[in-house]
Amino acid sequence: MKDLYQQQRAMRNMRQAALQRGVIAVLDIGSSKVACFVLQFDGPGVYRETDGVGPMAGQTNFRVIGAATTRSRGVRFGEIETMAETERAIRTAVQAAQKLAGVRVDHAIACIAGARPASYGLAGDAPLKNGKVGQGDIAHVLASCEVPDFGRGRQVLHAQPVNFMVDGRSGLMDPREHSGQSLGVDMHVLTVDGDAIDNLIHVIRRCDMELAGVASGSYMSALSSLVEDEQELGAACVDMGGGATGVSIFVRKHMIFADAVPMGGDLVTQDIAKGLKVPMAVAERLKTLNGGVEATGRDDRDLIELGGETGDWETDRRTVSRADLIGIMRPRVEEILEEVAAILDAAGFDHMPSQQVVLTGGGSQIPGLDGLAARMLGRNVRIGRPLRIHGLPHQLTGPNFASAVGLALFAAHPQDEWWDFEMPAETYPARSLRRAYRWFRNNW
Amino acid sequence: MQGVDRDYDPGFSPQPTPPRKGWQRPQQTAQKPKRDPAPSRLAYRLHRMWLTPYFRRLTRVGLPAFLFAFLSLLWLSDDDRRASLAGGLTGMVEAVQNRERFMVKVMTIDGASGPVDKALRMMLPVDLPASSFDIDLDQLRSDILMLDAVRDVELRIKPDGVLAAKVIERQPMLLWRHARGIEQLDETGHRVASVTDRAVRSELPLIAGEGADKVAREAIQIFAAAGPMLPRVRGLQRVGERRWDLVLDRGQRIMLPANGPVAALERVIVLNQAEDMLGRDISVVDMRDGTRPVARVGIAAQNEIRAFQGRPLLGPDGRELPQDEDKKS
């Protein structure tokens, strides 16, 4: 895990450099669209507490100065499939956003929605030598976590300490300076396919930018669409994207679980295209304009012109009732939600204190979805929209931009990850000067 | 056979119509790919380069400035072009300066006597009519003030092209005779003009001696005080750049002290009025000693006294004449 540590550290440094320069790009490479926001950090002091603004979830110190979105190309199930096409899509979005912002962006933070995420809860324990928790002890206990075999080619995307325990006192956010005999930690580790990350890095590097951070898509959309209370009390966020549906569970402001279903809105479109024998573009239009999951009696009489450009009059003049369309869409949406329910069950969502489910992502805009989801997931469900961030154009504030907005928040205020803490001194080479320096700093 | 067709009823079938086996759709021609604009790598890179602040500044400021400088220097490297450019510029400036509005046609001079008027007209550096830009009024004024006869001059260019000069001349108050000739002085002792002869300005009092012009004011006061004696006064002579001698006709001379010459003169005048001192044969009245006047008796009177006492007579140079000569005569 050491090279991962170094790699993530390098990304953090790059993020710091970008923040110093004041401009960073946020790239949401989804299966249906690629969105790019250019963020400008003006540093603290723009708004003060005395102005009555308050921290506002930490989004007061940046501003979106350029935002662009384009149709995605070459991305399937939240993973990059065709590098060159994806590169073109990213170029389009980045160039448009740069043009809008009027500045050149060299650092990007991206999120990855698919790539088979897997969540692990790790626990570690270490005795305290000084009877008091110091910086080095935290590093020790983080290093003492028993790391399971993630499997070949897996890479750790997030490794966040979610809970610290000192002598059985659990639920500590910041154990520094606590006195006790032993320090324990619970860590949430999210791994994804390493190849997907490598592809992402490569494709962004081909766009002449440096990757200053990678995050999980489901985590990002939860960050932007869960309100603070939900993050604190416990909630699940379901990000219904085009190619993948991400699920993440939050409690006490920490992500404790994340997973993704490789099914999404594209599959619904595909079903409509197959069922009605229309091109994908027409199916997409039907889905977005007339789609739904709850059929009513009126929908039987609501005839939709299919249209089309086949050249055959009979084919192009067909009409279907909206009830037919709903009849095609609903089973697929149900299937996706079933998978989500299975994931939530597997994660033990039943045992959470609060069982709020927040649906977000482009798929959550299907009319009647909240009713269906409430029936399927059996809990209190709401449709979530991302937080408002400063400078974002109105047409980009919909739920389909949840993960992009979450990335912007993440860029401004990343959660403490394992690699943000100091490395335990033992991992340094034995004769390293830095090891000696660390020893002096910790013992004097 | 009929039984087969028995159920045949056009328009009705007890079974749902079997799905048709896909009728022959017109074969789709290969669809043109939808317009899917994406910047090429080159365009993307150029755009990013253009957004680089230094490059942008270089292109938008540096390059035009360099091109402008380069081309203008290239153009100016030819002598003829440089000359024509300079000529054109001066021509333009002159065309503006020589406009009717700026022309000075007449010079009017107020308060100047004939010679001064003539001199002023001569001093004008340009021939009228000339542009007012060519006349440097400050310079002209300082030039005019160098003329001794002019005490002050006011120059202005009035509308309709009139250069008006208002001259205040110096009034001669004294004549000053010195080694180089005779000059007229004003009340401050400044030179006004030269005269060739005393008779030209016989009405002016005469002073003489080195440094007399520096104390002209005192000389004027002395002349003013000398009122009753004035018909007899020949002039004032400065002695040793220190004090005055008032020279009267008949070779008489009043030596005035360095301090308070006017008071001394007034004393002499009182003496004269009381005792007709100056009507007698007294060659010098010496007032230098402040306590009393000292008179030097004239040669004729001395000789008369000597003859009366039987002493040898004095010659006109003040020496005793030899006795034998005296006998001869």
Residue B7 lies in a domain: no
> Are B287 and B268 in contact, with CB atoms under 8 Å apart?
yes
Domain span holding position A185: 119-194
**Residue-level length of chain A:** 444
Residues B216 and B292 in one domain: yes
Question: Over the stretch A4-50, which tens digit does the pLDDT of each residue have?
Answer: 667 777 888 888 888 778 889 999 998 889 999 999 887 555 555 56
- The reported pLDDT for the residue numbered B257 is 87
Give the gyration radius of chain B's Cα atoms. 55
- The reported pLDDT for the residue numbered A57 is 44
For the four alpha carbons of A44, A46, A49 and A52, in that order, the dihedral sign comes to negative
Question: What single string gives the DSSP state of each residue in A59-127?
Answer: TSSEEEEEEEEEE--SEETTEE--HHHHHHHHHHHHHHHHHHHTS---EEEEEES-S--EEEEEEEEEE
Question: Over the stretch A49-84, which tens digit does the pLDDT of each residue have?
Answer: 565 555 444 445 788 899 999 988 888 888 898 898
Residue B315 lies in a domain: no
Nearest by CB to B25, which of A73, A89, A310? Answer: A310
DSSP B61: I
Q: What percent of chain A has pLDDT over 90?
A: 25
Residues B165 and B241 in one domain: no
Answer whether A89 sits within 8 Å of B28, measured CB to CB. Answer: no
**Is B221 or A95 the better-scoring residue by pLDDT?**
A95
Owner of token pair 């399927």? A376
For an interface test with A, which of B20, B44, B60 has the most A Cβ atoms less than 10 Å from its Cβ? B44
Domain span holding position B132: 100-169
Q: Which of B169, B194, B220 is the last residue of a domain?
A: B169
Residue B271 lies in a domain: yes
Checking if the pLDDT of B206 tops 60, the result is yes
Burial of B131 (0-12, 13-18, 19+ CB in 10 A): middle
Q: Residue B157 is part of a domain; what is its CATH number?
A: 3.10.20.310
Return the residue of A nearest to B37 by Cα.
Answer: A92
**Is B72 or B247 the better-scoring residue by pLDDT?**
B72
> Are B148 and B192 in contact, with CB atoms under 8 Å apart?
yes
* Structure tokens belonging to residue B289: 């000693």
**Is A403 or A12 the better-scoring residue by pLDDT?**
A403
Q: Residue A130 is part of a domain; what is its CATH number?
A: 3.30.1490
Answer whether A208 sits within 8 Å of B51, measured CB to CB. Answer: no
- Domains in chain B, number: 2
Residue A178 lies in a domain: yes
Residue B252 lies in a domain: yes
End-to-end CA separation in angstroms for chain B:
212
For an interface test with A, which of B29, B40, B47 has the most A Cβ atoms less than 10 Å from its Cβ? B47
Checking if the pLDDT of B61 tops 90, the result is yes
- Neighbouring CB atoms inside 10 A of A399's CB total 24
Q: What percent of chain B has pLDDT over 90?
A: 13
Question: Over the stretch A224-238, which tens digit does the pLDDT of each residue have?
Answer: 999 888 888 889 999
- The reported pLDDT for the residue numbered B5 is 54
Q: String of b and e for A419-432 (b: at least 16 CB within 10 Å)?
A: bebebbbeebeeee
Residues B164 and B215 in one domain: no
Question: Over the stretch B79-136, which tens digit does the pLDDT of each residue have?
Answer: 999 999 999 999 999 888 888 888 888 888 888 788 888 888 888 877 777 887 888 8
Checking if the pLDDT of A441 tops 80, the result is no
Residue B250 lies in a domain: yes
- The reported pLDDT for the residue numbered A163 is 86
- The reported pLDDT for the residue numbered A58 is 47
CA distance A192 to B6: 69
Residue A266 lies in a domain: no
Question: Over the stretch A316-366, which tens digit does the pLDDT of each residue have?
Answer: 888 899 999 999 999 999 999 999 999 999 988 888 888 899 999 888 999
> Are A349 and A380 in contact, with CB atoms under 8 Å apart?
no
CA distance A392 to A26: 13
Q: Return mean pLDDT, chain B.
A: 81
Residue B316 lies in a domain: no
Answer whether B48 sits within 8 Å of A71, measured CB to CB. Answer: no
Residues of B in contact with A102 (CB under 8 A): 51
- The reported pLDDT for the residue numbered B329 is 47
Give the E-state strand segments of chain B in sequence order: 103-104, 106-110, 130-131, 150-158, 162-169, 174-178, 181-185, 191-195, 206-208, 233-239, 243-248, 253-255, 282-286, 294-297
Checking if the pLDDT of A374 tops 60, the result is yes
Residue B14 lies in a domain: no
* Structure tokens belonging to residue B272: 């004269």
- Domains in chain A, number: 1
- The reported pLDDT for the residue numbered B4 is 53
Answer whether A88 sits within 8 Å of B38, measured CB to CB. Answer: yes
Q: String of b and e for A344-361 (b: at least 16 CB within 10 Å)?
A: beebebeebeebbbbbbb
Kindly state the average pLDDT of the residues B288-306: 83
Helix axes B261-275 and B216-225, enclosed angle (nearest 10): 20
Q: Return mean pLDDT, chain A.
A: 85
CA distance A223 to A404: 10
> Are A221 and A383 in contact, with CB atoms under 8 Å apart?
no
| Model-level ipTM above the cut of 0.90 | no
Return the residue of A nearest to B48 by Cα.
Answer: A104
Residue A405 lies in a domain: no
CA distance B254 to B283: 9
Checking if the pLDDT of B18 tops 80, the result is no
Checking if the pLDDT of B43 tops 80, the result is yes
Residue B156 lies in a domain: yes
CA distance B149 to B183: 12
Kindly state the average pLDDT of the residues B52-68: 93
Checking if the pLDDT of A247 tops 90, the result is yes
For an interface test with B, which of A85, A104, A208, A317 has the most B Cβ atoms less than 10 Å from its Cβ? A104
CA distance A27 to A112: 10
Maximal C-alpha separation, chain B: 215
